[in-house]
Amino acid sequence: MTENHHSKQLSASHRTETTRSSLHELRDNGGIPGVVYGTEGENLMISVESKDLVKFLRTGRSEFFQLQVENEGYPVLIKEVQKQGGKIIHVDFQHVSKNKPIRVKVPLHIIGTAIGTEAGGVLQVQANDLEVEGLPDALPPSLEIDVASLGIGDKLLAGDVQLPQGISLIADTEELIASVIQTRGAEAADEEDVANETPAESEE
């Protein structure tokens, strides 16, 4: 699979299994039940190979791609992945129109070393994704968040994130993405330094 939206493709099959026992058997045979929402008519019941889905998810979940259900292709987004005991047991897809903006949560990729960590601070990441809106073709697989300039006490908010052209922020601009806090050890060291720098009072 390449990074081109139109060339990314996942194969699936129609399924008729709906009972708990039949779905259990499907999973035992390496399949994952799923549903495609938003198609014309009724929702589409499908199944995908577990190994194919796991491999596909490593490439990112916010991009739209082609779900090939036997002889029919559907442009979709992954809507939800359900897990149990660390294993995928169900997947939902959302059928999308290439000409209609959609809202998705794009994964965040933290890069850089916060300058505040060199002074004893600790980087805290509060958000792993960011809700944005845009045409399916314009949605990035992830957003890089450079934290190199963050000093102790600094915060990076959703409104500070640079978005690609054609993508708008849906999340609250004040949503906290990352911050650098001072550790107790560093704080104690600072207090000790201040104490050492304070001149002693002279005795009369």
Q: Higher confidence at residue 198 or residue 8?
A: 8
Predicted local confidence at residue 183, as pLDDT: 82
- Residue 197: its H or E element: helix 184-197
Give the start-to-end residue ranges of the domains of the chain: 9-96, 103-190
Considering the entire predicted model, what is its pTM? 0.68
pLDDT exceeds 70 at position 182: yes
pLDDT category at 3 given cuts 50, 70, 90 is: very low
Predicted local confidence at residue 204, as pLDDT: 46
As to burial, measured by CB atoms within 10 angstroms (0-12 exposed, 13-18 middle, 19+ buried), residue 18 is: exposed
- E strands, 96-151, are 102-111, 121-125, 129-134, 143-146
Please name which of 9, 126, 92, 106 lies closest in space to residue 1, comparing C-alpha atoms: 9
Three-state DSSP class for 177? strand
Predicted local confidence at residue 13, as pLDDT: 95
Predicted local confidence at residue 165, as pLDDT: 95
Look-up of token digits 């720098």: 197
Helical residues (DSSP H) of 117-164, grouped into ranges: none
Please name which of 64, 51, 12 lies closest in space to residue 33, comparing C-alpha atoms: 12
Averaged over 7-33, what is the pLDDT?
Answer: 91
Give the distance from CA 9 to its chain's centroid.
20
**CATH number given to 103-190:** 2.170.120.20
Predicted local confidence at residue 189, as pLDDT: 52
Q: 9-96 has which fold? A: Ribosomal Protein L25; Chain P (2.40.240)
Lowest mean pLDDT across 25-29, 73-77, 103-107, 185-189: 185-189
